[in-house]
Chains A and B, each alone.
Chain A
Amino acid sequence: MYGFEALTFNIHGGYLEAIVRGHRSGLLTAADYNNLCQCETLDDIKMHLTATEYGPYLQNEPSPLHTTTIVEKCTLKLVDEYKHMLCQATEPLSTFLEYCTYGHMIDNVVLIVTGTLHERDVQELLEKCHPLGMFDSIATLAVAQNMRELYRLVLVDTPLAPYFSECITSEDLDDMNIEIMRNTLYKAYLEDFYRFCQKLGGATAEIMSDLLAFEADRRAVNITINSIGTELTRDDRRKLYSNFGLLYPYGHEELAVCEDLDQVRGVMEKYPPYQSIFSRLSYGESQLLDKAFYEEEVKRLCLSFEQQFHYAVFFAYMRLREQEIRNLMWISECVAQNQKSRVHDSVVFIF
């Protein structure tokens, strides 16, 4: 499994690995979160964040702040860092970094298509898109009337095109179809990313396959839970699961026939890594599942920094930063809406 990465990795990847590790040490710590959770107003949050790496991005914001501004600026920092790394990267790292953003691209496509379906303003939708998942002609998505048009008009130029080939149906776009499209795309994307990492080999393949398998399993569980009680057939549901991961293939067979949450739990508890997640939930409770999954993910992402000479740190860093931004958003929302008792509900400490 291991090649001789240590010998040659630093020729191309050393500089960027150093950079990404430097960025990682700028992530907020538990002490920071403790301080943030005690904030009374958004200005307090801003004051605290200006003492961290977010400083330059927030210090010039005029004082009546909004949650969106904070999140926007924090995301901007991530995007700037990402762009810097992408500029410096050589093959195959640059491709790897691009792969990391396809997920956002899929989300953005879905966002715009759903938005236009409900006749929202395109400009407004564009502002909501994640900046990492932007591509040139994204605004044109609004023109498309059905899947085929969507593909032919816009997506054929994007990296998502190959994933789309599986779900071109001439069906009209409605909420259900869009959701299916999202999951089909995601499945194809994850499988492609997985194959790409396997091709890279070495520690990258090993660690990324673990991270991606977790992602795939999580999606499988989420799809199952969300599709309970909808008109999605078992076969269709089965088709949305990615063809790798810990649950593949037997777990998928079992998940496909689940009818309620407790059955899902029964299936998942057979797998030791997920047992601990589900055993913490009381029966019939699904709100905390997301947080439990996020916590597990963060743990795995942090672990990937323990090894050197592989690309998974880039993926892990971006995921961790996104988690951090989610945390900040939650905290700011809680502070802004005076719901401070709920601050801890959804914050996932990274360190």
Chain B
Amino acid sequence: MVEQRCWPKMDLLRSESMQLVQLIIPLESAHRAISYLGDLGLFQFKDLNAEKSPFQRTYAAQIKRCAEMARKLRFFKEHMTKTGMLPSTRSAITNDIDLDNLEVKLGELEAELIEINSNNEKLEHSYNELVEYKLVLQKAGELFYSAQRSAAVQQRELQVDNHGEGSIDSPLLLEQEMITDPSKQIKLGFVSGLVSREKSMVFERILFRATRGNVFLKQSVVENSVVDPVSGEKVEKNVFVVFYSGERAKNKILKICEAFGANRYPFAEDLSKQYQMMTEVSARLIELKTTIDVGLAHQSNLLQTIGFQFEQWNLLVKKEKYIYHTLNMLSIDVTKKCLVAEGWCPAFATDQIQNALRRATIDSSSQIGAIFQVLQTKESPPTYFCTNKFTSAFQEIVDAYGIAKYQEANPSVYTIITFPFLFAVMFGDWGHGICLLLVTLYLIIREKKLSSKKLGDIMEMTFSGRYVIMMMAIFSIYTGLIYNEFFSVPFELFGPSAYACRDQSCRDASTAGLIKVRDTYPFGVDPKWHGTRSELPFLNSLKMKMSILLGVAQMNLGIMMSYFNAKFFGDKLNIWYQFVPQMIFLNSLFGYLSLLIIVKWCTGSQADLYHVMIYMFLSPTDDLGDNQLFLGQKFLQLLLLLSALVAVPWMLFPKPFLLKKQHEERHQGQSYALVDRTDDPLEIEPHYDSHKHEEFEFSEVFVHQLIHTIEFVLGAVSNTASYLRLWALSLAHSELSSVFYDKVLLLAWGFNNTIILIIGIIVFVCATVGVLLVMETLSAFLHALRLHWVEFQNKFYEGDGYKFHPFSFALLGNEDE
């Protein structure tokens, strides 16, 4: 969507030229104008009411209304999820409903839903109560029944005992009571009900304490959890029956029951009454059940109708809220007839914005059109790059370090190629590259489907970086072909190897004795190197030198970019006192090293480059001896060394002094100018501001320059060394993959056993995917990232701009939830 709005030019190097624009919009067309601008999405509004608190702004009431509607929508959504219904994704955009109607409608629906809910709740409450009552009837009935039976048995026994022995034995208190005075038994009152299981112990204890043990509590566990009628939650409960005597005890027990949320239910001792209650309760339960079902069906009907349009309403409310938030950023004119907006827009969008404003004027049949007016400003504009779905991921990589200064050279132009390339240098294996490529191709082919779906965190990241990964995969196939690695198996793809055995004695390829029989292998590393004893020294030397060449090239590119920046911003000082000495310094040391490497490769010389470089500093006048690569090398070295030494003070001293001079010149000019303007009081203030802004502190500038110089000089060494990570990681990658191949796959193969082979293959695949394809990719990615952020970008990139955040409805859908 973004790329359609841009002009066809693909100018990624400089950010779009922006302009500060003032819009004066008549009040009646303001809402529509803002909404059209939101559809366009190319205007960033400035908050002109920053000092006002949110509710003092003009449209606070409307925002409150929107928030209220959003709350209602959330309320619906909550109920929909509770009933397991999902709002239909296909939003019916049939009828265009406006905000006021929607508000009324939402209010009605909410009231209806609340009423249904409260009815349902009432019904559920009584239903749950009845369920509990039924449980009490059952359990307490059992308790009474068993108690009576055992009591009867005991009584009979006791009576027999009484007959036999007379009342010499003193039976237990309760039993004694029952025997001696049966009339008292009737006076024992009881309370029955349910109490939640976790509270039952405390309940019992408190009852005991409160009545000093003069109660008899019997509890029975209810197997299934019961829905508590008060809270509506599922709770595990016990049925209890408490027997007590006396009115005071009863009061206490009732209070305690209340305190514990224990629901009490009346219970008749009479068996026939129990049966009668039981049937009554069961009948009512069935009755209620049907009523509740009807109520639920009604509710789900209502929710379904809401669900059809939920997404549409939600979007509409969000949009409205967004519009009013934006309207609140506009300052209202003194005449209260129009709103004044200020903001940034890209220069190319002028026509589109004016068009949108015109349409808004016509559509709202306003008498006066909106005024579009470009303002002059010293403020630094936001940075806006027109990216497409391919370049945006690379731009993200750069933005993660820092947003480019306005119209500063954008490193992401080069990052598109150099990033995947440096990655591939570390990840050179065309087998692994093909695996990566297949995965990303899958992502790219299913792009349309996946982009609308909600992906996981990691998956989201992979998906958004799919084009980066694709480039990385393609490049790693390329470097893999150069390294001649395919899961660490060498292939003779480009013709036969150049080396062969001299005679029969060297069957074992790892021993020496190979001679060159043909022309050099045409592309990449000769497959014969693989597995020989000299494989590592050969590859190390190759990769190490290659890393230095790549590094020096990229750093030179970085310094060149600083030249383009300086030229673009017309900064001569930076060209002569920063770019030139930097170029000289870097190239006289490491450029020279690169030259030596290339000469050595071309001539096949045996010279020791370490020795050359080290003694270039330690004793530059000494004879080079064996290490001489070309004529006049000694002289050239002396020259380079001297120019490097000169370049350091060149970088350090002139710039701060020249800046000081410039400042003084400008300052002098200003003091003359001030005299002319004294009669115009309005002009003084902005003038004063600019003066303050340019306050010049020489020591600060000098220290700053000192830091820069030291950073560059030390950085030239350490950054070059840092590029050696290319070699280190590619070495680690090839060694790891050869370990998995040799020690897992070939070992398993050697057993000649199918099961072991299968296990071996499984282990090999897991290790390849887990370690090489996932972890190694990550680490190589991070190292490539570092090389770009630190070694490349610190040569030129300021990265202190701020991003262009247009007011756009397209971004609205992606926001949270």
Contacts and interface: CB of A to CB of B under 8 A. Distances in A.
A136 B198 CA distance: 11
Nearest to A45: B55
A35 B53 contact: yes
Interface residues of B, number: 23
A157 B202 contact: yes
Interface string B213-247: 00000000000000000000000000000000000
Interface in B31-71: 53-56, 60, 63-64, 67-68, 71
A139 interface: yes
Interface stretch (A46-54, A91-99, A340-348): A46-54
Contacts of B54: 35, 47-48, 51
Contact of B259 (A34, A35, A139): A139
A93 B500 CA distance: 75
Nearest to A39: B55
B611 to A, nearest CB: 50
9 contacts: A47-B54, A48-B55, A136-B199, A137-B206, A137-B259, A141-B259, A142-B255, A143-B255, A152-B209
A206 to B, nearest CB: 40
Contacts of A153: 206, 209-210
A47 B206 contact: no
B252 interface: yes
The majority secondary structure among interface residues of chain B is helix
Determine which residue in B67, B210, B255, B259 has the highest number of CB atoms from chain A within 10 A of its CB, and name it: B259
Contacts of A35: 53-55
B75 interface: yes
B260 interface: yes
B663 interface: no
Given A35-B53, A154-B206, A142 B259 contact: yes
B448 to A, nearest CB: 35
B68 A63 contact: yes
A141 B209 CA distance: 13
A47 B202 contact: no
Interface string A27-70: 00000001100111001100110110000000111110000000
A331 to B, nearest CB: 14
B259 A48 contact: no
Interface of A: 34-35, 38-40, 43-44, 47-48, 50-51, 59-63, 122, 136-143, 152-154, 157
B71 A140 contact: no
A48 B53 contact: yes
A154 B207 CA distance: 11
A116 B260 CA distance: 16
B664 interface: no
Given A136-B199, A136-B202, A38 B53 contact: yes
Interface string B415-448: 0000000000000000000000000000000000
A157 B203 CA distance: 12
Interface in B195-211: 199, 202, 206, 209-210
B256 interface: yes
A50 B67 CA distance: 10
B256 A47 contact: no
Contacts of A51: 54
Contact of B71 (A34, A60, A139, A154): A60
A48 B55 CA distance: 8
B157 interface: no
Contacts of B202: 136-137, 157
Given A140-B259, A143-B259, 9 more contacts: A35-B54, A47-B54, A47-B60, A47-B64, A47-B67, A59-B67, A137-B259, A143-B252, A152-B209
A142 B259 CA distance: 8
A153 to B, nearest CB: 5
Contacts of B206: 137, 140, 153-154
A39 B56 CA distance: 9
B269 interface: no
Contacts of B74: 59-60
B258 interface: yes
Going nearest first, the 6 A-B pairs with the smallest beta carbon separation are: A139-B259, A35-B53, A44-B55, A140-B259, A143-B255, A153-B209
Contacts of A122: 255, 258-259
A239 B54 CA distance: 53
A142 B75 CA distance: 38
A153 B208 CA distance: 9
Nearest to B75: A60
A60 B255 CA distance: 35
Contact of A140 (B53, B63, B68, B256): B256
B259 A47 contact: no
Contacts of B67: 47, 50, 59
A47 B55 contact: yes
A43 B63 CA distance: 11
Interface in B56-109: 56, 60, 63-64, 67-68, 71, 74-75
Contact of B56 (A38, A59, A139, A142): A38
Contacts of B64: 43, 47
Nearest to B259: A139
A48 B260 CA distance: 39
Nearest to B209: A153
A143 B210 contact: yes
Interface string B325-361: 0000000000000000000000000000000000000
Nearest to A50: B67
Interface string B92-133: 000000000000000000000000000000000000000000
Given A63-B68, A153-B209, A154-B206, A139 B260 contact: yes
A219 to B, nearest CB: 30
A59 B72 CA distance: 11
A73 to B, nearest CB: 14
A140 B260 contact: yes
Contacts of A138: 259
A44 B53 CA distance: 10
Contacts of A139: 258-260
B256 A143 contact: yes
Contacts of B210: 140, 143, 153
A53 to B, nearest CB: 16
A59 B209 contact: no
Contacts of B260: 137, 139-140
Determine which residue in A51, A63, A152 has the highest number of CB atoms from chain B within 10 A of its CB, and name it: A63
Contacts of A38: 53, 55-56
A211 B259 CA distance: 36
A59 B258 CA distance: 34
A173 to B, nearest CB: 15
B252 to A, nearest CB: 5
